[in-house]
């Protein structure tokens, strides 16, 4: 049983890394812009398809391909912000963002269906099906790389937010838009860049998801509820919280799977409710940060 439990914990932590890669962009966008980006799931799938194209047609390594897909996704993010989100103002902005991003999701899904059809595909590379044998466990390289990338990304976003002038502008916008504007911060530019970065980092989530799952244009639906649960548990806007919550989700589910897979998701949501009962702002969220 000890071995089984340890394997489940390893599985959970590694799966958490994959989910963190997909969720950090979502929490960043909410943290800065108060926008709940329902399109995050389909953006992960879009990123996975971009990696698929580069891998199949240009034989580009999946992680090397991020040098191309990340800027492309960044551009798409800026475009979405300018076309759909910028005009959302006032007290209803957050709720209206749900509708706007839902529209974005439907549009992207339709384009992907038209372009790739309904068949499932998966990303391939030598490390996708190979594993590292360590202490009696086979640990797949793709999950190891994904987890490492998640840690690096969280650290990089932390540095960006807390150690750069741009980060200070972002945080100022996050805390008080009006005051930020008064001290000369170009709110529109910051918002577009923040959205772009949030979508740009999703490129890594696309690789991790696409290499660990078969996907088609519809796969985004299954993702979004889990990604939202992760950022709520971690604390909306908290990047480190997204990683911690994703690991918690993965671990709880993998451990419960040992006894009853049908209960694994339910137990995670029960844990989520319990955490929110005692910490409504989530594990790492700051209550005052949202009070604008």
Does the protein bind other proteins through residue 138 (CB under 8 A)? yes
Does the protein bind other proteins through residue 55 (CB under 8 A)? no
Question: Which of residues 111, 218, 269, 289 is near other proteins by CB under 8 A?
Answer: 218
Question: Which of residues 167, 172, 181, 213 is near other proteins by CB under 8 A?
Answer: 213
Does the protein bind other proteins through residue 254 (CB under 8 A)? yes
Q: How far is the CB of 11 from other proteins (least distance, A)?
A: 4
Does the protein bind other proteins through residue 140 (CB under 8 A)? yes
Structural contact between residues 282 and 31, judged by C-beta atoms closer than 8 angstroms: no
The interface with other proteins within residues 63-82 (CB under 8 A) comprises none
Pairing of strands 137-140, 131-134: antiparallel
The single-letter DSSP state of residue 58 is S
* Dihedral angle over CA of 140, 143, 148, 154, nearest 10: -170
Angle CA(164)–CA(170)–CA(176) in degrees, nearest 5? 135
Exposure string (b/e) for 228-264, b if CB count within 10 Å is 16 or more? bbbbbbbbbbbbbbbbbbbbbbbbbbbbbbeeeeeeb
Question: Which of residues 6, 148, 188, 221 is near other proteins by CB under 8 A?
Answer: 221
Q: Tokens 């040098």 identify what position?
A: 67
Does the protein bind other proteins through residue 121 (CB under 8 A)? yes
Task: Report the interface residues with other proteins, using CB under 8 A.
Answer: 3-4, 7-8, 11-12, 15, 109, 113, 117-122, 124, 128-131, 138, 140, 212-219, 221-222, 226, 250, 253-254, 257-258, 260-262, 264-265
């Amino acid at each position: 049983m000890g071995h089984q439990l340890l394997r489940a914990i390893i599985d959970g932590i590694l799966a958490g890394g994959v989910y963190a890669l997909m969720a950090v962009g979502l929490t960043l966008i909410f943290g800065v812009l108060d926008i709940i980006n329902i399109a995050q799931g389909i953006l992960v799938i879009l990123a996975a398809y971009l990696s698929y194209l580069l891998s199949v047609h240009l034989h580009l390594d999946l992680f090397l391909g991020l040098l191309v897909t990340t800027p492309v996704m960044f551009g798409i993010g800026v475009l979405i912000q300018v076309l759909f989100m910028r005009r959302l103002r006032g007290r209803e902005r957050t709720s209206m963002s749900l509708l706007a991003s839902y529209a974005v999701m439907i549009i992207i899904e339709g384009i992907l269906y038209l372009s790739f059809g309904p068949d499932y595909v998966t990303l391939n590379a030598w490390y996708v099906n190979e594993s590292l044998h360590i202490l009696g466990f086979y640990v797949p390289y793709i999950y190891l790389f994904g987890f490492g990338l998640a840690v690096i990304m969280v650290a990089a976003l932390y540095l960006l937010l807390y150690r750069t002038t741009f980060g200070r502008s972002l945080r100022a916008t996050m805390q008080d838009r009006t005051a930020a504007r008064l001290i000369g911060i170009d709110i529109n530019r910051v918002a577009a860049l923040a959205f772009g970065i949030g979508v740009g980092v999703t490129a890594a989530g696309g690789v991790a998801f696409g290499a660990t799952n078969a996907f088609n244009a519809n796969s985004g639906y299954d993702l979004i509820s889990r990604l939202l649960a992760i950022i709520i548990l971690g604390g909306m806007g908290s990047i480190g919280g997204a990683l911690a919550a994703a690991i918690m989700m993965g671990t709880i589910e993998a451990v419960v799977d040992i006894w009853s897979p049908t209960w694994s998701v339910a137990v995670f949501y029960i844990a989520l409710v319990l955490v929110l009962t005692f910490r409504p702002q989530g594990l790492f969220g700051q209550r005052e940060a949202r009070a604008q």
